[in-house]
Amino acid sequence: MIRMETSNGNNTIMDMFEKGKVLKICAPMVRYSKLAFRSLVRKYDCDICFSPMIVASDFMRSVKARDSEFTTNESDRPLIVQFAAPDAQTLADAACVVAPFSDGVDLNCGCPQRWAMSAGFGACLINKPELVKDMVRHVRNQVDNPNYTASIKIRIHKDLRQTVDLCQKAESAGVSWITVHGRTAEERHQPVNYDAIKTIKDSVSIPVIANGDIKHLRDVESTYQLTGVDGVMAARGLLTNPAMFSGYEDTPLECIWDWVDIAIEQGTQFTCFHHHLIYMLERLAPSLRGKCLIL
């Protein structure tokens, strides 16, 4: 259910990039980066939040899907809605629906799961630069808001020249910024390729966000030093410690209580509430042995 009617005023996301600050961003995570969790990380210095990845065709086909997949409120800004889409018009149609309630739309070009790639979206799109260009242009031409951003999130190729070509073509089509997960579609736990991210950053004039293995606030600074990027995006690190961007090494107890309060206030489903709680307590579990934490 969409529950928001206010705009983001005069403070656009591109203005945030221009201030020279390395932006701290909550990644799009299926099942996890929903409104309640976004509300939590915003309390702890997260600058921009992404929605979970939403399959654009399902979103457009079903009211039930729209109510389930996209919920927001007046405090949920800046917000980027990420879609998985196999064609330009489907993406543009979905973008037009969410544009009044968000600050930008992002095209998923990085999901490596087989079901996504077999459906024609996710990481398979990094091998279709002309299609990505067309998708960006459709969003640009059909969303009636010059401040609304159109971005892409990608993985890298083994031959980095292909990735640079993709990014430059997306830039020529008007993409607002690019998030780079520094692994190929085949890689899972291999080290992040920071040199590749730096090469991409040096190859375009638009903002670039680095993604991959951000587990502590110090990783934000080290990634910036290695790559010169404009922002850093975290996923698993924020799940484990939603207060990470505020400099906490582990989830502080006040953050856990904040999660309880937000989950109750927003009517979060128990399964979602419980999964997040388990992640937050992951590092704390040994220190909580013998103690009673009543939730």
Residues marked active site are found at: 111
Question: In this structure, what is the dihedral angle of CA atoms 254, 260, 264, 267, given to the nearest 10 degrees?
Answer: 120
- Do the beta carbons of residue 54 and residue 88 sit within 8 Å? no
CA distances from 54 to 27, 151, 259 (A): 13, 15, 24
- Do the beta carbons of residue 182 and residue 194 sit within 8 Å? yes
User: Residue 114 — φ and ψ, nearest 5°?
Assistant: -60, -40
For the chain, what is the largest distance between any 2 Cα atoms, rounded to a whole number of angstroms?
60
- Do the beta carbons of residue 140 and residue 150 sit within 8 Å? yes
User: Residue 267 — φ and ψ, nearest 5°?
Assistant: 70, 40
Burial 123-157 (b: 16+ CB within 10 A, else e): bbbbeebebbbbbbbbbbeebeeebbbbbbbbbbb
- Do the beta carbons of residue 231 and residue 252 sit within 8 Å? no
User: Which residues, in sequence order, are CB contacts of 43 under 8 Å at separation 6+?
Assistant: 255, 258
Per the structure block, which two tokens stand in for 103?
Answer: 């600050």
Q: CA-to-CA distance for 146 and 8, rounded, in angstroms?
A: 13
User: Which residues, in sequence order, are CB contacts of 7 under 8 Å at separation 6+?
Assistant: 100
Helix (H, G, I), strand (E, B) or coil at 22: coil
